[in-house]
Amino acid sequence: MSGLKILAFGGAAFAAMLSASVTMAEELSLEGKVIGITTIRSDNQADRLFYQSAIAEAERLGAEVIALDAQSNDQTQVSQIQTLIAQKPDAIIEILGNIEVLNPWLARVKEAGIPLFTIDTTTPSATNVVASDNYGIGEQLALKMVADMNAKGNILVFNGFYSVPPCKIRYDQMKYVISNFPDVKVIEPEMRDVIPNTAQRAYADTSDMLTKYPNEGDISAVWACWDVPLIGVTQAIDGAGRTGIRTYGVDGSADFIAMIEDPASAAGAVVIQDLVGMGKASVQNVAAHLAGQKVPPFTYVPHLIVTKENAAEVIPTLPSTD
């Protein structure tokens, strides 16, 4: 299990960075408050850590928590938000999801007079949105990818979740970066990553694309807005013995980090988000708001990039929970 590190971001350096970004001058309390927490899913590491850390932090501060997981089903999440509104909690935290589906329902939360806080869902209805700086993430990852490609070659892009706000921002930033490099092209049509069976499906799709583009140099990079599909993609590339292709994504799934650490693997770079810190930050903002403090509209939680080059140095500093 040595390769399986669950990255929970408790490291001193990141904690220091985080404390600067969250309003928590003194220990706040949620004693006697009811907090509704709803997420579109909690079946991959990023979503699970957002959700569980928000629940844990709210309970630690003394709140009664109504926590609802929609299991990737938009209809269920909408029903759950509607149910939460009827419960009239003191605040609602909404995590991830499809913005087109959510926006009208989040507006209803606001209309009902319930303060809304979100993680990774940028919406005008929210009192505060906690997110990584996805603009920075998208740009940093794309620049690293273009640099590794020597500003030349074709990118296979997985773009199945453009309706999820952080994915949209990271994708748009990636396209903006490569628009300045005329020799870098995106292979059309783009691929679609899916939920569930994300890694398995990406493995099969990549195997097909490697057959379709059989020569070295046909594909130089594979990009996705998260890293679960890239686990399958990288396994397919490594399994086929193809060289000259690197994979790039976001989140910091244990398996993908292990692949970046492996010099022989195609995994190129991953931007790691402070997933636990983001869940905590949202709850801290709820507590601050309910205590009458002013809360900023956005809380950006720091991220860092792990690459083949800095892996040996950075990965050991990431705390492990096994």
Binding site for another protein (CB under 8 A): 34, 65-76, 78-80, 82-83, 86-88, 98, 100-101, 103-104, 160, 162-163, 192, 194-195
Task: Check: CB of residue 117 under 8 Å from CB of residue 130.
Answer: yes
Minimum CB distance to another protein smaller for 34 or for 240: 34
What SS3 class is residue 69?
strand
**Cβ at position 160, least distance to another protein in Å:** 6
**Cβ at position 37, least distance to another protein in Å:** 10
Query: What are the residues facing 118 on neighbouring strands?
Result: 94, 129
**Cβ at position 286, least distance to another protein in Å:** 18
Minimum CB distance to another protein smaller for 9 or for 105: 105
Record the tokens describing residue 26, joined without a space: 């003194």
**Cβ at position 295, least distance to another protein in Å:** 26
Q: Distance between CA atoms of 36 and 83, rounded to whole angstroms? A: 10
Query: Which residue pairs from 235-241 have beta carbons closer than 8 angstroms and sit at least 24 positions apart in sequence?
Result: 235/199, 235/203, 236/202, 236/203, 236/204, 236/206, 236/207, 236/210, 237/206, 237/210, 237/266, 238/264, 238/265, 238/266, 240/207, 240/210
Q: Which residues contact 84 (CB under 8 A, 6 or more apart)?
A: 36, 38, 66, 68, 92, 109
Minimum CB distance to another protein smaller for 23 or for 200: 200
Minimum CB distance to another protein smaller for 17 or for 195: 195
Minimum CB distance to another protein smaller for 202 or for 270: 202
**Cβ at position 80, least distance to another protein in Å:** 6
